Amino acid sequence: MTHAQGRHFLQIPGPSPVPDRVLRAMDMPVIDHRSAEFAELGKAVLSGSQKIFQTSGPVVIFPSSGTGAWEAAIVNTLSPGDKVLMVETGHFATLWQKMAVRFGLDVEFMPGDWRHGADPVAIGERLSQDKSHAIKAVMVVHNETSTGVTSRIAEIRKAIDAAKHPALFLVDTISSLGSAEYKHEAWGVDVTVSCSQKGFMLPPGLGFNAISDKARAAAKTGGMPRSYWDWEEMLKPNASGFFPYTPATNLLYGLRESIAMMLEEGLDHVFARHKRLAAATRAAVEHWGLEVLCQNPEEYSPVLTAVVMPPGHDADQFRKVVLENFNMSLGAGLTKLAGKVFRIGHLGECNELTLLGALSGVELGLSIAGVPHRAGGVAAAMKLLEDRTNANLANHLKIIKN
């Protein structure tokens, strides 16, 4: 029996729920994109975005999805035939690799099992072998949205440095930025790719590139034929708060508001909250006797948790039961994980009670769908959250670590 009353629980790993404050900020008349009033908005979102990417360098904002921002990173910095090193961390890394191939790049795709992040050691070794510096870029996904596995970006940076390799470092933070700790500048990333509909808590429609000096220099002399995605065309009018073509004004209203919300909470608190909610989710999953797809505790995603279905049970059938009975959307398994995992998003404006409501829906859904599990997962998650509050918080965070 289907019923879909009340508030929908959108627990996919993005788009994440848009806070009322952000929706309302967007619900205003559009303004002249060549006016002084617009320039204030433009400057506010451009400098605000730098704070979120943690960089003093430029961030460009495209009216596009995150996929467009992937493309922008490629066409500005690389040329057809360029060799690049990518890592198969999951579905989205694979899509980015396919895009790179479409643009004529010579992609070396390090295979992966979709349960681990990119291996800094392996990357370092591969680069060390590349004496001729044929590899022009290393391209890694920070948080694989399809698997709930993160890659250790700071360690990969160190590996590149240790190999004394000049390759550009391009990182996809589409689902991590604003939810998981990320430092574009301190971590020495050359191009960071992101979008609006995850940690930024906005509807889809904006793509981002944070750009290092090295990347910008590379773009000035190289890259592919481009126009829409061209950084320099963006950066010229950006300097005075404007854009080279009509920007997605109302999404920028929302962006200004969501950046304000993140800074009000404090980025450190935002990151700690996501870690805490992710830990609670894993506590539930483990209690249920189900398996978290991610196999390396150091690489657990604070953004989403992918859960492996027991053999003989279809994840999509389970998701259907949950949607119809409890008005909650969970993420599907993608391509080779289709039917085998479901994904619980716990990002953006998610808080403890929203998460516990969501986990309740998962546990109830497991029962109703007849999926074998041990009852009490929600209680296990509550226990973790309660300890967090009762115990010394700093201590606690040290323990859960991720």
Instruction: List, as residue ranges, the binding site for substrate.
Output: 343
Of 43, 51, 158, 226, the one binding a copy of itself by CB under 8 A: 226
Per CB under 8 A, 326 contacts a copy of itself: yes
1 binds a copy of itself (CB under 8 A): yes
Q: Looking at 217, 222, 245, 297, which residue binds a copy of itself (CB under 8 A)?
A: 245
If one asks whether residue 247 binds a copy of itself (CB under 8 A), the answer comes out as yes
What separation in angstroms does the CA of 144 have from each of 97, 122, 226, 384?
A: 13, 18, 28, 25
Q: For 173, phi and psi rounded to 5 degrees? A: -115, 30
CA 391/CA 395 separation, integer angstroms:
8
3-class secondary structure per residue, 45-58: HHHHHHHHHCCCCC
In the range 13-32, which residues lie near a copy of itself by CB under 8 A?
Answer: 14-15, 17-20, 23-24, 26-32
Please, which residue, 96 or 182, has the CB nearer to a copy of itself?
Answer: 96
Q: Which stretch binds a copy of itself (CB under 8 A): 214-222, 281-289, 306-314, 343-351?
A: 343-351
Residue 158 CB, shortest distance to a copy of itself, in Å, is: 31
| 155/181 with CB nearer a copy of itself | 181
Which are the contacts of 387, defined by CB distance < 8 A and separation ≥ 6?
396
Does the protein bind a copy of itself through residue 339 (CB under 8 A)? no
DSSP character for 10?
E
The residue within the footprint of a copy of itself, chosen from 59, 307, 309, 323 (CB under 8 A), is 323
Q: Is 188 or 203 the residue whose CB approaches a copy of itself more closely?
A: 203
Residues from 71 through 90 that contact a copy of itself (CB under 8 A) = 71, 80
CB neighbour list of residue 102: distance below 8 Å, 6 or more residues apart = none
- Scan residues 93-112 and list those touching a copy of itself (CB under 8 A): 98-99, 102-104
Q: Which of 164, 240, 353, 398 binds a copy of itself (CB under 8 A)?
A: 353
Quick check: 368 binds a copy of itself (CB under 8 A)?
A: yes
Instruction: Please name every residue paired with 106 in a beta bridge, in sequence order, or none if there are none.
Output: 83
Segment 120-139, which members bind a copy of itself (CB under 8 A)? none
C-beta of residue 194 within 8 angstroms of C-beta of residue 182: no
10 binds a copy of itself (CB under 8 A): yes
Look at the block and give the residue holding tokens 């704070």.
51
Which CB, 296 or 325, lies closer to a copy of itself?
325
Least Å distance, CB 152 to a copy of itself, is: 26
Give one DSSP letter per residue of 164-182, joined into a string: T---EEEEE-TTTBTTB--
Selected binder of a copy of itself within 47, 246, 317, 335 (CB under 8 A): 246
In order of 105, 126, 180, 257, the CA distances from 346 in angstroms are 35, 35, 11, 21
Instruction: Closer to a copy of itself by CB, 133 or 220: give it.
Output: 220
Closest of 218, 224, 236, 251 to residue 63, by C-alpha? 251
Task: Give CA angle at 33 (44, 64), nearest 5°.
Answer: 75
Written as one string, the DSSP assignment of 118-132 is --HHHHHHHHHH-TT
Number of chain positions touching a copy of itself (CB under 8 A):
96
Q: In the set 79, 295, 296, 354, which binds a copy of itself (CB under 8 A)? A: 354
* Nearest distance in Å: CB 197, a copy of itself: 6
Query: What Rg value do the Cα atoms of the chain yield, rounded?
Result: 21
| Closer of 73 and 218 to a copy of itself (Cβ) | 73
Q: Where are the alpha helices (DSSP H) in 301-376?
A: 315-326, 352-368
Contacts with a copy of itself, 176-215, as mask; x by CB under 8 A: -------------------x-x-----xxx----------
**Residue 379 within binding range of a copy of itself, rule CB under 8 A:** yes
The size of the chain, in residues, is: 402
3-state percent helix, strand, coil for the chain, nearest multiple of 5: 45, 15, 40
Binds a copy of itself (CB under 8 A): choice among 39, 296, 357, 402:
357
